[in-house]
Structure 1
Amino acid sequence: MKKIVTLVLGLVLTGCNIIKAQEKYTPPPLPIIPEKTFNINDFGAVSDDTTDNTAAIQKAIDAAVAAGGGHVVLPKGTYLSGPLTFYSNLDLHLDKGAILRFLPIDRYPGGSVEGTSFISGTKLHDISITGKGTIDGQGSPWWPQYKTEGFNRPRMIVLKDCDKILIEGVKLMNSPKFHIAIGGKTTNVTVSGITVRAPSSKDPVNPSHNTDACNVTGNNILIKNCDISTGDDNYTCGGGTSNVRITGCTYGTGHGVSIGSYTKGGVKNFVVENCTFTDTDYGIRIKTDRDRGGTVENMVYRNLTMENVGMPILMYQAYNAEEKEFRDLKKITPEIAERYPAASVAELTPAYKNFVFQNIKATTKEGGRAGLVWGLPESLIEDVTFDNVVIDAQRPFGVFFAKNIKFKDCAIKTKEGLNKIEITNALLTR
């Protein structure tokens, strides 16, 4: 089936049950940290541009652990350091004016051979990084080598299989690679009021690549009131993620609020609400492929404003398509989509179902596409509702390999006209 259809406004809205289920929300429990403080200066840390403070800061951490936990405090000043190991019942607190800075690339332990994470911990509980200070990755010398084989870049904060995590108030900037990478069987994560900055991957002078701001995979996750502009995903997660709420965030450069591309183990029960996107490559970006899929379901995106984004809404299951014509998402047409081959359903075949996009207003960059829903011939995306979605773009909205796609009170304006939708092997339900 190959055609362009014009939406009829006022279609019957479904998805109410998904929204109602998400209203019963309880935030994650916060970590409990003993009220003891350990000032890094008392353990020999020196504020200057040359001293390696790794040993001094780790001594302060170890002393806190030996005392049953507490707050390791960085007072105002600039402190160079190499990799640090985190423990349970611990808060790393950066006072206003405190800067914790990676050692330069030529002094960083392990260098580009190992790419050792800067702050790391596994199987911990009750941990936090707080304050009004800054962690600076000094990533600029690392970024140009992002495609070099054997060149490994450190991530800034890496936590795995942990429970009750809080990252609050701090500024993270210029990580050589990801700023926050939380994964495994992690539960109860709160990221609140942080700022993340790295140059866009399209920066003409100093582009940063793979500098994802907030990669959080796990269960019971709250991301709120953050201000993020980076060179890659502003938020992303992989399979094994559930019960996520992203609210009140401001997103600038980057790849938007993403899911995938590895979704094995499933992703479910998301609410993304009351956020703004300006100059992002995408607003909402959900991506996977046949070799890495799982079920992505029960997702709500509402009350979002997007300005000058590359594509406001992308749901895509052919992320690794070999043929170039299937990778240029701006230029996919019904004719191109009809050539996309089917495959047998297998263990890792992705499935997307039960999505609601509600109260979204967006404009795109020059040549931008209004949106794309792209399933697979053997696994159609199903049960997606667009309610009061207003988009001003040049290229049309496409719905390929999908069923039970509903539009209500939408105004999607492109060069094709108002509410013109390109479709292939798709059913738009009235």
Structure 2
Amino acid sequence: MKRLLMMLFVLNAFLLKAQNPISPKIPVQSYTVTTFGAIGDGQTINTAFIQNALNKVAETGGTLTIPKGVFLCGPIEIKSKTNLIFEKGAVLKLINDVPNYPVVNERYLNFISIKKAADVKISGDGTIDGQGQIWWDKFTAKEITFRRPQLLFIENCERLEIAGITTLNPPNTHISLKGCKEVYIHDITITAPEKSRNTDGINISAKNTLIERCKIATGDDNIAINFGNRNQKNGEPEVENMTVRNCDFGYGHGLSIGSFTAGGLKNLNVNNCKFDSTTSAIRIKTARGRGGLVENIVYQDIEIKNVKWPIFISEYYPKEPKNILEEEVQPFAQNTPVYRNIQLKNVNITNAENAIKLWGLPESPIEDVKMINVKIDAKKGVELYNVKNIDFENCKITVATGEKIKTHNTQYTGLK
């Protein structure tokens, strides 16, 4: 009980801490892509025109506007001190000429790249369209083996803001951020068909991040927090101080942590979010050999409905044992997963397939979990395997068939 009380103190202190990433600072100079020769007729390929415009903006910093129209374009790169603005009705559309699409190091170039930059903003009411169908079809038919382009690829950047835009149908991920700091993503819409291949909404590792008021429905993880860097300096977590709030998640695989967690995560707050018809909702996943420390996580004021796995926390992903009850303790190693200090508060789950699944390792149980005011209506019950210190307070779980709760090597209180 003392450990749970200490956990609540730590998590509540995190909740009180304001999450306000530092905003990018953009100079006042402004440009328009049409001045550099770009034509929004849906036929002209504008790659060189738009890249020349971005290079010009980078000389002094400033804004570059894409006006109303359909601008076909190949891979481009945004540099520091740039705000790329999409006016209402503006569409930046990726060329779909797969046979002639640029390849470097056995990878198709990403559509928009931002690398080692600072003070970058992408904003407005327009759309970035990846024309992904041809890529999904060819990938399914095994006609391409290189990694497909991501719509926005952002690496080792700081003071970044993405606001207002819509992203559609990427060949691969919509927005990928790796090793970034001071990130603010808000009021964007992310959409791809439910069965599209590998179209994660936001795939992110970053420090000091706020994601809010976003609508995400896509063919893979709605948000995937991945951190696989095994060489973090001084033991610092790769992901730290992240807040996700006031977001709506449609079809997709939910808000996932993992499955690469070797770099470590500390302080994640998810609040006032809705999940409808996702495969999972609250999802933490990894396995022996790819794990690290994941700690101090709060989910609060969450609505979940029509979801197969609403609460899925596993250290056996993606390959589960045939019989977890027969699993033997293995030596604790550098990349053994550790999950601890997790709180769920005011979570309402309706029409779920399974209530709760918490599967820890025998050598590394999931530790110190607190559930407060969690209400669940599900077909199947709770599975708690290798969990150390889990407390249910004012929780109600209704199960249609089978046992309400199955446990193995687990310490829990408050649930009957």
Give TM-score scaled by structure 2 length.
Answer: 0.92
Matched, 1:232 2:220: yes
Report if aligned partners of 1:105, 1:141 keep a CA contact under 8 Å in 2: no
Matched, 1:208 2:196: yes
Report if aligned partners of 2:220, 2:253 keep a CA contact under 8 Å in 1: yes
Partner of 1:92: 84
1:372 Cα deviation from its structure 2 partner: 0.5
Partner of 1:167: 162
Distance 1:220 1:108, change over 3 A: farther
Partner Cα separation in structure 2 for residue 47 and residue 321 of structure 1: 48
Per-residue deviation, residues 137-160 of structure 1 (Å, max 9, x unmatched): 000011134464723210011111
Matched, 1:220 2:208: yes
Partner of 2:393: 408
Partner of 2:97: 105
Give the residue type in structure 2 aligned to 1:234: N
RMSD in angstroms over aligned alpha carbons?
A: 1.8
Per-residue deviation, residues 8-51 of structure 1 (Å, max 9, x unmatched): xxxx9774311233211131011011111110000000112221
Partner Cα separation in structure 1 for residue 355 and residue 318 of structure 2: 22
3-state SS in 2 of match to 1:141: helix
Partner Cα separation in structure 2 for residue 222 and residue 146 of structure 1: 33
Report if aligned partners of 2:213, 2:247 keep a CA contact under 8 Å in 1: yes
Equivalent residue in structure 2 for 1:199, among 155, 179, 193: 193
Give the unaligned 5+ runs of structure 2: 228-237
Per-residue deviation, residues 219-238 of structure 1 (Å, max 9, x unmatched): 00100000010001111112
3-state SS in 2 of match to 1:370: strand
Per-residue deviation, residues 295-335 of structure 1 (Å, max 9, x unmatched): 10000000000110111111110013265x4xxxxxxxxxx
Equivalent residue in structure 2 for 1:139, among 107, 132, 143: 132
Equivalent residue in structure 1 for 2:153, among 158, 161, 164: 158
1:108 Cα deviation from its structure 2 partner: 5.6
Partner of 2:347: 360
Partner of 1:8: none
Partner Cα separation in structure 2 for residue 252 and residue 138 of structure 1: 21
Give the residue type in structure 1 aligned to 2:368: D
Partner Cα separation in structure 2 for residue 322 and residue 285 of structure 1: 15
Report if aligned partners of 2:19, 2:243 keep a CA contact under 8 Å in 1: no
Equivalent residue in structure 2 for 1:63, among 56, 61, 70: 56
Q: Which has the higher contact order (CA 8 A, sep 6+)?
A: 1
Partner of 1:24: 17
3-state SS in 1 of match to 2:150: coil
Report if aligned partners of 1:401, 1:426 keep a CA contact under 8 Å in 2: yes
Partner of 1:9: none
Report if aligned partners of 1:115, 1:153 keep a CA contact under 8 Å in 2: yes
Matched, 1:36 2:23: no
Report if aligned partners of 1:289, 1:349 keep a CA contact under 8 Å in 2: yes
Partner Cα separation in structure 2 for residue 352 and residue 117 of structure 1: 33
1:217 Cα deviation from its structure 2 partner: 0.5
Equivalent residue in structure 2 for 1:189, among 163, 183, 199: 183
Give the residue type in structure 2 aligned to 1:191: I
Identity within the alignment, % = 38
Partner of 2:121: 128
Partner of 2:409: 425
3-state SS in 1 of match to 2:146: coil
Give the residue type in structure 2 aligned to 1:159: I
1:161 Cα deviation from its structure 2 partner: 0.7
Per-residue deviation, residues 280-299 of structure 1 (Å, max 9, x unmatched): 00111100111110010000
Partner Cα separation in structure 1 for residue 190 and residue 29 of structure 2: 28
Give the residue type in structure 2 aligned to 1:401: N
Give the residue type in structure 2 aligned to 1:409: N
Give TM-score scaled by structure 1 length.
Answer: 0.89
Partner of 1:203: none
Partner of 2:42: 49
Distance 1:373 1:85, change over 3 A: same
After TM superposition, the structure 1 = structure 2 runs for residues 281-360 of structure 1, keeping only pairs within 5 Å, are 281-321=279-319, 323=321, 325=322, 336-360=323-347
3-state SS in 1 of match to 2:196: coil
Distance 1:423 1:105, change over 3 A: farther
Partner Cα separation in structure 2 for residue 417 and residue 319 of structure 1: 24
Distance 1:313 1:14, change over 3 A: farther
Higher strand proportion (structure 1 or 2)? 2
